[in-house]
């Protein structure tokens, strides 16, 4: 049994989890997985972490590139995150002939082609299971167990922060600001919550999932993205009333006109398995032509869960190195079109605040009708303020373009104060 030497770059929370797995399970890995893996180098700018994690000072450095390019290593784990230094570190590691394991969704969703291409050219393995869904096995099952299917859709709750906030808003009636403050206090949200609440984190993840599921490269900038900042408690309540639950859903669908890919608050039927995924949990729902519906559920964040995925990748890579096995490279061989959001055919929930006067209902309904948008249901409410009412429309299937055209007309109406909410309704 050959000893596989691993370098770890980035000793944050996930890095700490990785160190712990090495400590707890190295002997188990020898016996159960048939590989001897040793943590042979570690790098972080914050030298305090070396002692905190009980690392041998002899293997520690502040120089990430020294670890990345270390010729004595076999595998380099990149846990810096982001697309700056992390990008250069990953490229340097591959150039130096080291296998790479990373949890970096931003990197894989933006520079996946460069990184995977270089790995393939070098005949090296690169693995990134931890980049989506924390500890949930999803990238490997898509690449392997489900490969005999043509995947028609992948959709999921892939951001724990916003799912925690939405759960609190739905189950306990919190508003957005209170939910965010609570998530921050509990350590579920960053001081700057932009990446989570504006949907960018979820966008990176669905770009990665779609690339694998559809064998066609999708990058983060191709994902239409809306976050949850403008979501009001009343929209969540109206959704409940009509049997739906609001989730920040990352959606990727294969259609005859290309890949439909987007992240936005979405009303899904409350009976759907995804609707009951609550708190910081994540779940990814996959439909294939033979397998039918499947769902993968688990902890989407946290040191242990992400470290589990990272170390799963490390062990797989180590086994392949030990056996001298050939790496099976990237299979993003198709080149499918990305459908612009205007082409989307969906159902829409629209809440508008109007002046409570005769004709407003007719005027708004006429605007929809004129653009071919057929109405499925309508609720009119007077929330209390004088002269003010709310109209809540749910449309039948309509094109996003026609909805936008109707909106222009509706916004021009004197009797309409604002279109306060637009939420897409998915009857999955």
Find the binder of a copy of itself among 46, 47, 52, 148 (CB under 8 A): 148
**Beta carbon of residue 24, minimum distance to a copy of itself (angstroms, whole number):** 7
Judged by beta carbon, residue 112 or residue 298, the one nearer a copy of itself is: 298
C-alpha 313: how far from chain center? 19
DSSP three-state, residue 423: strand
- Least separation in angstroms between residue 244's CB and a copy of itself is 17
Query: Taking the complex as a whole, how short is the minimal distance between the CB of residue 28 and a copy of itself, in angstroms?
Result: 7
Interface of this chain with a copy of itself, residues 335 to 394, rule: CB under 8 A: none
Binding mask 284-323 for a copy of itself (x = CB under 8 A): ----xxxxxxxxxxxx--x-xx-xxxxxx-xxx--xx--x
Tokens of 51: 């002692």
Q: Which is nearer to a copy of itself, 38 or 328 (CB)?
A: 328
Decide if residue 141 touches a copy of itself (CB under 8 A): yes
Q: Which residue among 23, 45, 144, 181 contacts a copy of itself (CB under 8 A)?
A: 144
Between 62 and 331, CB nearer to a copy of itself: 331
Q: Which two tokens stand for residue 185?
A: 């206090």
Q: For 137-156, b where at least 16 C-beta lie within 10 A, e where not — what string?
A: bbbbbbbeebeebebebbbb
Residue 132 C-alpha from the chain's centroid: 6
CB of 177 vs a copy of itself, minimal distance in Å: 28
Sign for the pseudo-dihedral over CA of 110, 135, 229, 363: positive
28 vs 63, beta carbon nearer a copy of itself: 28
82: number of Cβ within 10 Å:
11
Site for a copy of itself in 20-59 (CB under 8 A): 20-21, 24-25, 28-29, 31-34
Between 229 and 319, name the residue whose CB sits nearer to a copy of itself: 319
**Token couple for 187:** 């350590």
> Concatenated DSSP letters for 1-37?
-PEEEEEEE--SHHHHHHHHHHHHHHHHIIIIIS-EE
How far is C-alpha 231 from the chain's CA centre? 19
Q: Which of 422, 401, 400 is nearest to 352 (CA)?
A: 422
Provide, rounded to whole angstroms, the least separation between the CB of residue 105 and a copy of itself. Answer: 17
346: closest CA among 423, 263, 239, 269? 423
Q: Catalytic residue at 247?
A: no
Q: How many residues bind a copy of itself (CB under 8 A)?
A: 61
Element (H, E) at 392: strand 388-395
Closest to a copy of itself by CB, 161 or 395:
161
Residue-by-residue DSSP string for 315-354: HHHHHHHHHTPPPP-----B-PPBPPGGG-EEEEEEEEEE
Can you tell me the distance from the alpha carbon of 313 to that of 315, in angstroms, rounded to the nearest whole number? 5
How far is the CA of 324 from the CAs of 2, 102, 124, in angstroms? 11, 21, 11
Q: How far is CA 388 from the centre of its chain?
A: 38
Residues 389-418, one symbol each (x = binds a copy of itself by CB under 8 A, - = not), give ------------------------------
Site for a copy of itself in 263-282 (CB under 8 A): 273, 276
CB of 140 to a copy of itself, least distance (A): 5
Report the nearest approach of a copy of itself to the CB of residue 187 (Å): 16
Instruction: Report the nearest approach of a copy of itself to the CB of residue 335 (Å).
Output: 11
- Contact pattern from residue 165 through residue 204 relative to a copy of itself, giving x for each residue in contact according to CB under 8 A and a dash for the rest: ----------------------------------------
Residue number, 192 or 256, with CB nearest to a copy of itself: 256
Please provide the DSSP assignment of 174-227 as one string.
Answer: --HHHHHHHHHHTTSS-SS-HHHHTSHHHHHHHHHHHHHHTTB---GGGSEE--
- Single out the catalytic residue among 122, 143, 181, 205: 205
Site string for a copy of itself, 93-132 (x = CB under 8 A): ------------------------------------x---
Closer to a copy of itself by CB, 137 or 340: give it.
137
Question: Which sequence positions are flagged as catalytic?
Answer: 205
In the complex, the residues that contact a copy of itself under the rule CB under 8 A are 17, 20-21, 24-25, 28-29, 31-34, 129, 135-137, 140-141, 144-150, 215, 273, 276, 288-299, 302, 304-305, 307-312, 314-316, 319-320, 323-326, 328, 331, 333-334
């Amino acid at each position: 049994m050959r000893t596989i030497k691993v370098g770890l770059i980035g000793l944050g929370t996930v890095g700490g989890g990785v160190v712990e797995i090495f400590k707890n399970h190295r002997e188990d890995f020898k016996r159960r997985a048939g590989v001897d893996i040793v943590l042979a180098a570690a790098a972080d700018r914050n030298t305090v972490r070396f002692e905190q994690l009980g690392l041998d000072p002899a293997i520690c450095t502040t120089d990430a590139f020294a670890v990345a390019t270390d010729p004595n290593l076999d595998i380099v784990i990149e846990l810096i995150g982001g697309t700056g230094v992390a990008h250069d570190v990953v490229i340097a590691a591959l150039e130096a002939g080291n296998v790479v394991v990373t949890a970096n969704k931003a990197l894989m969703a933006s520079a996946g082609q460069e990184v995977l291409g270089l790995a393939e050219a070098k005949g090296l393995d690169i693995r990134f299971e931890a980049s989506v869904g924390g500890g949930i096995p999803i990238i490997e099952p898509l690449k392997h167990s489900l490969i005999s299917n043509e995947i028609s859709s992948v959709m999921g709750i892939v951001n724990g922060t916003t799912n925690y906030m939405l759960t609190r808003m739905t189950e306990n009636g919190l508003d957005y600001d209170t939910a965010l403050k609570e998530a921050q206090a509990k350590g579920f949200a960053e001081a700057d919550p932009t990446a989570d609440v504006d949907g960018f984190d979820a966008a990176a993840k669905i770009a990665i999932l779609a690339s694998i599921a559809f064998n066609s490269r999708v990058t983060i900038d191709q994902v239409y993205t809306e976050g949850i900042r403008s979501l009001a408690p009343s929209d969540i309540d109206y959704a409940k009333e009509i049997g739906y639950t609001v989730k920040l859903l990352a959606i990727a669908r294969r259609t005859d006109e290309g890949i439909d890919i987007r992240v936005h608050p979405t009303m899904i039927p409350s009976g759907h398995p995804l609707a009951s995924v609550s708190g910081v949990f994540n779940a990814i729902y996959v439909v294939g032509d033979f397998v039918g519906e499947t769902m993968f559920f688990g902890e989407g964040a946290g040191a242990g869960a992400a470290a589990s995925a990272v170390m799963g990748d490390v062990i797989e890579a180590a086994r392949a190195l030990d056996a001298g096995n050939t790496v099976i490279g990237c299979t993003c061989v198709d080149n499918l079109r990305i459908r612009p959001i205007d082409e989307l055919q969906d159902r829409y929930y629209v809440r508008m605040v109007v002046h409570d006067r005769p004709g407003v209902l007719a005027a708004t309904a006429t605007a929809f009708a004129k653009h071919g948008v057929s109405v499925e249901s309508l609720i009119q409410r007077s929330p209390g303020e004088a002269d003010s009412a709310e109209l809540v429309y749910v449309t039948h299937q309509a094109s996003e373009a026609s909805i936008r055209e109707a909106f222009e007309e509706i916004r021009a109406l004197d009797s309409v104060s604002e279109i306060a909410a637009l939420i897409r309704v998915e009857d999955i």
